[in-house]
Chain A
Amino acid sequence: MSVTDIKTERVAGWNRPPVIEPDGEGELLEVAMGPHHPSTHGVFRMDLALDGERVVRLKPVFGYLHRNHEKLGEGQSYLASMPYTDRLDYICSLTNNWAYALAVEKLVGQEVPERAEYIRVILAELTRVQNHASSIGFLIQEMGASGTPLMYAFKEREKILDLFESLTGSRMMCNYMRFGGCRVDVSAPWLDATRKVVAGLPVFVDEFEALLSSNEILMARCQGVGILRPELAINAGVSGPMLRASGVNYDVRKVDHYGIYDRFQFRVPLGDHGDIYDRYMVRILEMRESIKILEQALKDLPAGPIMDPKAKLRGFRPKPGEAYGRIEAPKGELGFYLISDGGPNPYRYRVRTPSLINLTILEDMCLGHNVADVVLIFGSVDIVLGEVDR
């Protein structure tokens, strides 16, 4: 079905995409951007209708990476779903682990020891730093900077992934958290290595900013492009740095106080324009705040067990009921919704992924802009296809 054939009911409303009429004569050029395209972050397709280079219609097409993650989750035990959550947003597997563990812990009322909570915070914030760094790298790569910022980001990410590997055994598919704690304890050498990496992070962010933040080309490309109004952002369920770049003060870490986030001093950076540049800067500033959290968490890490002794690994059968647990993943609000019927497998296993829902307003942001801007706006949403299509 071509994009101009899709008869979307143009429901009048402030939260609907604007209607852009092509100016001038001539037919629209229909371009299927993707699924094989250098900057669709994997197998994603956008059906564009172009008037010249101006976008007048845009329809995202999903499902090329669909593997019915939720059905898989319903067919296996609670524990066996844990490694599958790594594959959702494969850049930040540890936050996925945490979100799932949090939902299950809510479902069964499981406590988590303090040390495990600290380790979770450390790992989640390291994940956030490396995700934001690489997402900015991808964004600038899409702007055509031949990979230099991406390589700088990856150089830093490499150090963090090395930490993940030495702790969890795997660089990306960490499969680290368990219901009621974590799998392996951190060792003193690991903590020293982490402190060293964390001490080097501000230098990296400074270098990154010197390279990019004041670059005129970047400012010209990003400022005023892909504006997302705060009221639409809230209404469309946009979350994470995208929401905050639109000036909405909403951070699940601050709102839900999950884990032990209320023990740390950190601020939530907010943008005023809601354009690509604000999303970029909010990510940069969030990296700096994450570094602050990391420093505090590494300083205060208490001794103690990392697994609740009451937690069960085998024969885990929650009582009937349901729970929705969510965390502030680097890409936005990541939630798991579980219904238990008392059996060893969840009756319903649902993942609320930020990437998919943040794409709801892709059309709104892109209409009227150029093809080149579409790529940038799409990049600034910061998605991972493993999470969008599940």
Chain B
Amino acid sequence: MKSVEEIKTAIEAAIPGAGVEFVSNPSPSAQHSLRLAPESAIAVATFLRDDAELAFDFLSNVTGVDWPDKEVAEKVKVTRTVTKSVDGPEGPVEQQVEETVEETHKRVEPGCLEVVYHLYSVAKKHGTLVLRMRTVNRSDQTELPSLTGVWRSAEFQEREVFDLYGVVFSGHPDLRRLLMWDGFKDHPMRKDYVEPDDFEYEPTPHDEVLKRAQERKSEGLGTRD
């Protein structure tokens, strides 16, 4: 099999302006991946499937990853001019001095939802090629193109990602929730998902759960028996 960089070159040769990005994987598994631009994803996927040499005809795994908004604390060296009083020969004198200070900037790195695809080739018996796609953010722009038309095996798995992560796959033939029920609101696999406090607690010996169970029992709510 070609290396991931070679595949990237091949894609770029076949589809100009594909916007494929190489993502390195530092772990010993060395399964590096390619990040696709959502606009050209279907074209790239079709190329990967139909190219005689690559022939990635088997989409093994589709999954979502949640990257929540991250607060990044950066130390930045800032150089600015400050007015300082300097002890001059004639007493304190106001003077413009250039000063370099380290400042801690806190900025919020916007999170995103990522969808990861693992490809294999049945015809050529090679693999894994890992593809990834990212949404713009986690709240309102969570659309990604569906690859169900290229690989049918994405059908249920993309439904699952939609269900559990909230990625909306445009062009999916039947985008409904897969595992949760239809009326369910949130997306449980997101990192910031808060479990609703509505299930029945069994009195386990655990401090927190036990406390909550006892509370509910005293309120006459939701405990069995």
Interfacial residues, chain A to chain B (CB-CB below 8 A):
1, 6, 8-11, 13, 15-16, 62-63, 66, 68, 70-71, 106-109, 232, 234-239, 248, 250, 255, 318-326, 333, 335, 337, 339-340, 347-348, 350, 352, 356-357, 359-361, 389-390
- In the complex, the answer to whether B151 meets A237 with C-beta atoms within 8 Å is yes
Nearest 7 pairs of A and B residues by beta carbon: A321-B27, A237-B153, A109-B28, A323-B29, A63-B179, A236-B152, A352-B61
- In the complex, the answer to whether A360 meets B152 with C-beta atoms within 8 Å is yes
Give the CA-CA distance A339 to B29 in the complex, in Å: 11
Give the CA-CA distance A63 to B27 in the complex, in Å: 33
List of A residues within 8 angstroms of B154 by Cβ: 237
Given A107-B27, A109-B28: A350 touches B63 (CB 8 Å cut-off): yes
How far apart are B178's CB and chain A's nearest CB, in angstroms? 6
Residues from 38 to 62 in B contacting A, C-beta threshold 8 Å = 57-61
- In the complex, the answer to whether B27 meets A66 with C-beta atoms within 8 Å is no
Which residue from A15, A16, A356 sits with its C-beta under 8 Å from B156?
Answer: A356
Q: Does B25 contact A (CB under 8 A)?
A: yes
- In the complex, the answer to whether A13 meets B149 with C-beta atoms within 8 Å is yes
Which residue from B31, B57, B177 sits with its C-beta under 8 Å from A235?
Answer: B57
Which residue from A10, A109, A248, A357 sits with its C-beta under 8 Å from B157?
Answer: A357
How far apart are A44's CB and chain B's nearest CB, in angstroms? 12
Give the CA-CA distance A389 to B125 in the complex, in Å: 29
Chain B residue nearest to A320 (CB atoms) is: B26
A-B contact pairs, 5 of them (CB 8 A): A232-B152, A237-B59, A321-B25, A337-B116, A357-B153
Give the CA-CA distance A339 to B63 in the complex, in Å: 12
What mask results when residues 158 to 200 of chain B are scored 1 for a CB within 8 Å of chain A, else 0?
A: 0010001000000001101111111000001100010000000
- In the complex, the answer to whether A62 meets B63 with C-beta atoms within 8 Å is no
List of A residues within 8 angstroms of B143 by Cβ: none
Which residue from B31, B61, B176 sits with its C-beta under 8 Å from A323?
Answer: B31
How far apart are A307's CB and chain B's nearest CB, in angstroms? 19
List of B residues within 8 angstroms of A323 by Cβ: 25, 27-29, 31
- In the complex, the answer to whether A340 meets B60 with C-beta atoms within 8 Å is no
- In the complex, the answer to whether A335 meets B179 with C-beta atoms within 8 Å is no
What mask results when residues 129 to 157 of chain B are scored 1 for a CB within 8 Å of chain A, else 0?
A: 01000000000000000000101111111
Give the CA-CA distance A287 to B24 in the complex, in Å: 41
Q: Which of B26, B57, B152 has the most CB of A within 10 A?
A: B152
Which residue from B28, B65, B182 sits with its C-beta under 8 Å from A106?
Answer: B28
Given A63-B181, A360-B156, A361-B152: A68 touches B188 (CB 8 Å cut-off): yes
Which residue from A16, A106, A357 sits with its C-beta under 8 Å from B29?
Answer: A106
List of B residues within 8 angstroms of A11 by Cβ: 149, 173
Give the CA-CA distance A312 to B69 in the complex, in Å: 33
New contact pairs (7) apart from A237-B59, A361-B152, CB-CB < 8 Å: A10-B173, A13-B149, A70-B164, A234-B58, A235-B152, A237-B60, A348-B65
Give the CA-CA distance A16 to B172 in the complex, in Å: 12
- In the complex, the answer to whether A234 meets B122 with C-beta atoms within 8 Å is yes
List of A residues within 8 angstroms of B181 by Cβ: 63
- In the complex, the answer to whether B29 meets A71 with C-beta atoms within 8 Å is no
List of A residues within 8 angstroms of B31 by Cβ: 322-324
Give the CA-CA distance A180 to B25 in the complex, in Å: 22
What mask results when residues 100 to 139 of chain B are scored 1 for a CB within 8 Å of chain A, else 0?
A: 0000000000000000101000100100101000000000
Residues from 11 to 39 in B contacting A, C-beta threshold 8 Å = 25-29, 31
How far apart are A91's CB and chain B's nearest CB, in angstroms? 21
Given A63-B178, A319-B26, A359-B156: A324 touches B118 (CB 8 Å cut-off): yes
- In the complex, the answer to whether A320 meets B61 with C-beta atoms within 8 Å is no
- In the complex, the answer to whether A62 meets B178 with C-beta atoms within 8 Å is yes
List of B residues within 8 angstroms of A325 by Cβ: 29
How far apart are B70's CB and chain A's nearest CB, in angstroms? 11
